[in-house]
Amino acid sequence: MAKLALKGGEPVRKKPFPKWPIFSEREMKALKDVLESGFWGVGGSRKKEFEEKFAAYQHAKYGIAVTSGTTALEISLRALGLGCGDEVIVPSYTFMATAITVLYVNAIPVFADIDPETYNIDPKSVEALISERTKAILPVHIGGRPADMDALLSLAKKHDLYIVEDACQAWGAEWKGLRVGAIGEMGAFSFQSSKNITSGEGGIIVTNSEDLYVKAWSLHNCGRMPQGAWYEHHLPGANYRMTEFQAAMLLAQMERFDEQTEKRIENARYLNSKLSKIDGIKPLKDDERITRHAYHLYIFRFNPEAFGGISKSTFARALQAEGVPASVGYSRPLYKEPYLEYFKKCPLSCPHYGKSMDYSNVKMPAAEKACYNEGLWLPQYVLLGSRDDMDDVISAFEKIKGNIDEIAGEN
Ligand SMILES: Cc1ncc(COP(=O)(O)O)c(C=O)c1O
């Protein structure tokens, strides 16, 4: 009789992991207070309170709360004046928003490879792609693990480039004691429902520059100026304002965030110590300059050869069958996404660009390996479980390894 749950055997666990999102009376009261205040949008105090609190939490001077992480990225790029003919270097292993926002402002995303050991943008690949048109680097702190900011800042300095951090998965993450987001010029965070702090949807921009703050503030508020009249529109903005309900939820969520982050870190370290002993499983490398990991994702590397040649998706399905909600994550590098085709004329072949960008020849080996063969994820809520829950995760890996003959060669 089969042992593996994928083949009809008994699963390692039938219990669910902690439910996500988490809320309590705190969120219910916060929402009720907003309802009763009569200010559900403009005129309320929660948005401003959240902006100040979150920016300070990220060691930034200013925060602008918006509708999503995507919006936060787009406004940041626009505030920096990026547009026609400008190239922005982005990683190939990330969510689609990282690149589409560059296209939204009519600039050109140039895809860099990732470091095979951290899955973050590889500064060596970035350097090789810098051209006279490059204006910015857009690193992503993937899964909550800060990118190599020392190397990126030094490239930015040398070539006079902006850095916009996609910190949409990295609340509270730290590089050498400094929280991410405003290490470069501007940074974007997401509060979409899977995220470690959530209001269903939402985002925030952080910066230390007063000038960029005023521009981004205006862009998220129909082009108004902080001291200007209501019907006076200076910049090409629109309504991207966060609601009072979202801000109230986020203020409540922040109260339990540090405790949750500590738990995720503790459990991730435990998983690292045990899973790294299994031949064919490698947790991503933690750079010693990272002083705090946000663990939005627990990403690990899977070597099919050590697992009877099964594909990463079969391994994910085998884990799921054992009761562990593993995911294949990004399954193709971002430069292969069909949406890029929609930008073929403008901006990718725009006369202002002076040449034509064709992504069909792009090949970033580390990103391709991560997507096609190697990179698997456990979601953040798994890391909120108990030590027994982590032992179940480890048992599931070991069980699959020990009974690999049952699924060897499956794709
Ligand atoms: C790396 C990254 N960038 C940008 C975003 C966009 O955030 P949102 O979904 O809030 O627009 C996400 C969200 O999943 C993300 O993971």
Q: What is the best residue among 192, 296, 297, 334 to mutate for testing ligand 1's pocket, by most ligand atoms within 8 Å of CB?
A: 192
In tens, the pLDDT along 34-78 reads 999 999 999 999 999 999 999 999 999 999 999 999 999 999 999
Question: In angstroms, what is the span from residue 207 Cα to ligand 1's centroid?
Answer: 18
* CA–CA separation, 279 and 139 (whole Å): 31
At 191, which amino acid appears? F
* CA–CA separation, 195 and 253 (whole Å): 11
Residue closest to 203 by CA, chosen among 41, 99, 72:
72
Question: In angstroms, what is the span from residue 168 Cα to ligand 1's centroid?
Answer: 5
- Structurally, at CATH architecture level, domain 25-253 sits in 3-Layer(aba) Sandwich (3.40)
In tens, the pLDDT along 350-404 reads 999 999 999 999 999 999 999 999 999 999 999 999 999 999 999 999 999 999 9
pLDDT at 296 over 90: yes
* Nearest CA owner, ligand 1 atom 8: 69
* Nearest CA owner, ligand 1 atom 14: 95
Counting every residue written for the chain, the total comes to 411
- Start-to-end Cα distance in the chain: 22
Q: In this structure, what DSSP letter does residue 221 have?
A: B
Q: Would you state the pLDDT for residue 1? A: 85
Q: Is 188 helix (H, G, I), strand (E, B) or coil?
A: strand
Name the β-bridge partners of 283.
300
pLDDT at 92 over 90: yes
Alpha helices in 58-109 (DSSP H): 69-79, 97-104
Q: Would you state the pLDDT for residue 410? A: 85
Question: In angstroms, what is the span from residue 112 Cα to ligand 1's centroid?
Answer: 19
Ligand 1 atom closest to residue 73's alpha carbon, by position in its atom list: 4
Question: In angstroms, what is the span from residue 277 Cα to ligand 1's centroid?
Answer: 33
In tens, the pLDDT along 307-360 reads 999 999 999 999 999 999 999 999 999 999 999 999 999 999 999 999 999 999
Ligand 1 atom closest to residue 68's alpha carbon, by position in its atom list: 10
Ligand 1 atom closest to residue 169's alpha carbon, by position in its atom list: 16
Question: In angstroms, what is the span from residue 404 Cα to ligand 1's centroid?
Answer: 35
Tell me whether strands 297-302 and 290-292 are parallel, antiparallel or unpaired: unpaired
pLDDT at 251 over 90: yes
pLDDT at 409 over 90: no
Ligand 1 atom closest to residue 296's alpha carbon, by position in its atom list: 16
Q: Would you state the pLDDT for residue 411? A: 83
In tens, the pLDDT along 28-46 reads 999 999 999 999 999 999 9
Question: In angstroms, what is the span from residue 170 Cα to ligand 1's centroid?
Answer: 11
Ranges of each domain in the chain: 25-253
Q: What is the best residue among 66, 70, 100 to mutate for testing ligand 1's pocket, by most ligand atoms within 8 Å of CB?
A: 70
Q: CB–CB of 382/194 below 8 Å?
A: no
Residues with CB under 6 A from ligand 1: 68-70, 94-95, 97-98, 140, 166, 168-169, 190, 192, 203
Q: Which two tokens stand for residue 212?
A: 């960029």
Alpha helices in 146-209 (DSSP H): 149-159
List phi, psi (to 5°) of 150: -60, -50
pTM (2 d.p.): 0.98
* Nearest CA owner, ligand 1 atom 7: 69
Ligand 1 atom closest to residue 70's alpha carbon, by position in its atom list: 11
